A and B are shown apart, each in its own frame.
Chain A
């Protein structure tokens, strides 16, 4: 038995040596570049909330932080609620597209004092009820809420219990839709699709197969570049008209999307903080990057690179 063992081992050793001899490039041979990063900037923990528009913001910020400021960027995929939690524990430095979320602001900015605001992103968030383009074209008067009852029967589905269906999406969306339906006396029922994926799929199919769908949606959103949904007019928003959640009977306000950073990060003197603070761009800018990611299926970093190279002057203003 010992003989077999020895023979085997010897054979393996020879095989090993042969393979080693014809080896090729060794690990670490080309490690000259790449190191020496993170001099002044250090580590930048960036939360990535789960929608493509946010991903676009994060990708561009991460690209600039890595390539211009030489930070080590950790992107963390987190839902809003959990990302805000991370401000206190130091695991998240910045949230770079915040939609309102007054409850979280109250809890973490004024309450626990672990977060601070870092200004607007320049994007304007629209929330509302949308219909597929074919429907807006076929029945232009549908774009006014006053005419919705006339068409309610067309929006009936197996889920809406005899009324028209108003499709709502992900539960983390800001929504007053149930109150709106009641207070505007619409013959509709809110049905919760439960996720953005479900909502987009519903609109995509509705446009393709000329189906009747009305639902909650928002801009800026990459899907608009695939199917440009049309917004339905609700009673105009006036300051305070949505103060009482039960009595809301007006449109959603225009959200100034903003950035939130951890209190610690704001005081750290990191150039990444200045970058986040100075970062602003337009809805079109975001839609461009979001389209690269979602429609053209580019990797976020490649999409960011493409946009940054085409918009160098904007980027320079952030890091001046």
Chain B
């Protein structure tokens, strides 16, 4: 998942100067695109059903078998191979000890104590104090309220297990990610080497490496932590590199001219100046780590994810929702605290010096209070175990269950109609075009589109990706997945533009929607699969809806941001010229936010792709099903791995085309 960091739209004068030249070129380009589609359609009619490279569900290619053999031989030799004995086993020990230690502190009984070292009161105290120290009193209040809520939900221990695992994974990830990010920021060559690996780490479905990870690190916290950190580390690497790069050159030159060594300019100039952005990277890493909670539960990771997965076995939506809500609460607290931390210094400087003078004694006093709270929670039962039965949790669960039942009973006629219209009208024809055309025709069309939209480099990347896709042996499944993905992305963009513009134009809407969007992004998809299944059945459409729920918030946020960045003077000028609201939106705000729209499409598509596997669980078939099957059945492991690679290839292909297109649009 490329976190593409686009510079904000160039200033107004540049935009206006470039404007007259653009329309003509754009018309040309869209005509070429249309021509490509016409040629494709004509050839499709002639060649339909030939050379489609279809592969049945149980069939394997040589590549898949070879992956199987590699996997088996690793499994068979793991007790004698020195790589395991002296490398992986050592890593496993370190990580296991780290996680067990953190769990002993806050979540699991240790030694002969029936409770962890620090009870709920201590944890709430620490969380409040730290949030206040690194952020401000408002986020501290939020943090205390949030953590208390977890206890009231009756999920204190599960939440702490999740927190322990997330914290350990983030800690280990940062240990590697920040130095790597600094290196990538300083060296172009290293950046070029590391970028494809980061793409791979973020787009490869976790299901693919879940089973092999247990081969390398065995069942237990080490595997869960490792799978979490593989997915969560890239944002920090990327954002740290970006932060180092965006330190103004003049500042670095000034330091150089004062005779600073490389080391000095790194430690005294580059790092301090990029600190704020790096904290944002850490924030993204934490969020990504929390997104892995339910997946890691499939290899016995303790915590909230387990509650979600177990509740789903008996289709208990209420209980799953309750646990999902706890994940959302954790995520929102951690997000707001790290965000506040990243802007604290500026905020503090702005707030005047009276507070600064008081800060030190207050910090000391706070530390003392926290120490007392920790002591109490270590010693007394009432402060160690969260009191009460968590009745709030069962209320939430039964309310969520009732709401789901109501929706299932009352809406399914409506939703089924909507599903059938969209499936028959849009998805099926498009999918037929992609899967029933000869593979070389689709490939050629994709490459041509890549060249026209993104330029020659994007065309070459597309050609390589198409070639590798054929090599995975899963061409037909890839095209089925591609069709659903494109339809989902179209829906995401419709929603993204609609709500994005609305949010940008109204502060109130923005305030109301943002928490909902955060929740939609963090709520584990496993939670809403059951209601969606009831509403739409086990179909490709259900998978599309799940993907839209996950991906639309990102698109909305980016579009809202882009539209808001359109200079107010331009909008005022248009208003003065007599444009009505609709005209302002379509003729001024959206065209000027074009690079934000492209970025939103890019991110929307990549987020949709990351839901392909979840889609496989609800009837989408194709690559998602292949990946899930590979995780479940030994003889399909290689095919699942190949399917994972195919998803990565689709992601890379799209990412490169849309990024190149965005650069063109922005230029």
Contact = CB atoms under 8 A, between A and B. Distances in A.
Nearest to A19: B376
A134 B315 CA distance: 22
Contacts of B629: 171-172
Contact of B617 (A194, A205, A295): A194
A193 B616 CA distance: 8
Contact of B619 (A29, A92, A198): A198
A25 B309 contact: no
Nearest to A17: B372
Given A8-B364, A157-B539, A172-B633, A294 B314 contact: yes
Interface residues of A, number: 74
B72 interface: yes
B380 A26 contact: yes
Interface in B391-411: 408
A15 interface: yes
Contacts of A28: 112-114
Interface string A18-59: 011001111111010011000000000000001110010000
B361 A78 contact: no
Contacts of B540: 158-159
A179 to B, nearest CB: 9
Interface-central residue, A20, A29, A79, A190, by most chain B CB under 10 Å = A79
Interface in A190-222: 190-202, 204-205, 209, 222
How large, as a class, is the contact surface on chain B? 35 or more
B378 A209 contact: no
A202 B663 CA distance: 46
Contacts of B553: none
A80 interface: yes
Contact of A158 (B539, B618, B631): B539
Given A25-B381, A26-B379, A158-B420, A89 B219 contact: yes
B57 interface: yes
Contacts of A191: 538, 619, 621
A159 B621 CA distance: 10
Contacts, number: 219
B634 interface: yes
B612 to A, nearest CB: 11
B76 A24 contact: no
Contacts of A199: 538
A204 B316 CA distance: 13
Given A85-B75, A91-B220, A201-B533, A8 B365 contact: yes
A50 B309 contact: yes
A49 B218 CA distance: 17
B372 A16 contact: yes
Interface string A119-148: 000000000000000000000000000000
A293 interface: yes
A85 B313 contact: no
A194 B368 contact: no
A82 B214 contact: yes
Interface in A46-82: 50-52, 55, 76-82
Contact of A193 (B215, B312, B538): B538
A178 B314 contact: no
A310 to B, nearest CB: 21
B625 A194 contact: yes
A195 B634 CA distance: 17
Given A159-B619, A194-B616, A196-B313, A85 B300 contact: no
Contacts of A222: 314
B419 interface: yes
Interface string B416-428: 0001100110001
B537 A202 contact: yes
B306 interface: yes
A8 B219 contact: no
A201 B538 contact: yes
A158 B378 CA distance: 59
A201 B315 contact: yes
B376 A91 contact: no
A51 B315 CA distance: 11
A112 interface: yes
Contact of B313 (A52, A82, A192): A52
Given A4-B361, A12-B369, A78 B634 contact: no
A31 B364 contact: no
Given A24-B380, A27-B380, A297 B632 contact: no
A81 B365 contact: no
A102 to B, nearest CB: 11
B434 to A, nearest CB: 15
Interface string B283-303: 000000000000001111000
A88 B114 contact: no
A295 B625 CA distance: 29
Nearest to B635: A103
Chain B binding surface, main DSSP class: helix
Given A9-B364, A167-B538, A197-B530, A81 B632 contact: yes
Contacts of B625: 171, 192, 194
A107 B112 CA distance: 40
Contacts of B423: 158
Most buried by B among A35, A88, A104, A195: A195
A81 B634 contact: yes
B375 A16 contact: yes
B129 to A, nearest CB: 12
A1 interface: yes
A117 interface: no
B412 A209 contact: yes
Contacts of A52: 313-314
Nearest to B79: A88
Contact of A31 (B112, B533, B635): B112
B636 interface: yes
Contacts of B384: 27
B541 A158 contact: yes
Contacts of B72: 107
Contacts of A195: 529, 617-618, 628
A88 B214 CA distance: 12
A195 B58 CA distance: 17
A100 B539 CA distance: 29
Given A31-B114, A158-B541, A171-B628, A78 B219 contact: yes
Interface of A: 1, 4-5, 8-9, 11-13, 15-16, 19-20, 23-29, 31, 34-35, 50-52, 55, 76-82, 85-86, 88-89, 91-92, 103-104, 107, 111-112, 157-159, 167, 170-172, 178, 190-202, 204-205, 209, 222, 245, 293-295, 297
Given A192-B619, A205-B537, 5 more contacts: A12-B369, A12-B372, A50-B309, A76-B300, A103-B633
Interface of B: 56-58, 72, 75-76, 78-79, 112-115, 119, 210-211, 214-215, 218-220, 297-300, 306, 309-310, 312-316, 319, 357-358, 360-362, 364-365, 368-369, 372, 375-376, 378-382, 384, 408, 412, 419-420, 423-424, 428, 529-530, 533-534, 537-541, 616-621, 624-625, 628-629, 631-636
28 contacts: A1-B360, A8-B362, A12-B369, A13-B372, A15-B372, A16-B376, A20-B375, A20-B379, A25-B381, A27-B115, A50-B313, A77-B309, A79-B298, A82-B210, A82-B211, A82-B219, A112-B75, A158-B419, A158-B423, A167-B538, A172-B629, A191-B621, A192-B621, A196-B313, A198-B533, A205-B408, A205-B534, A294-B314
Give 6 nearest A-B pairs by CB, closest first: A8-B365, A171-B629, A172-B632, A294-B314, A193-B538, A16-B372
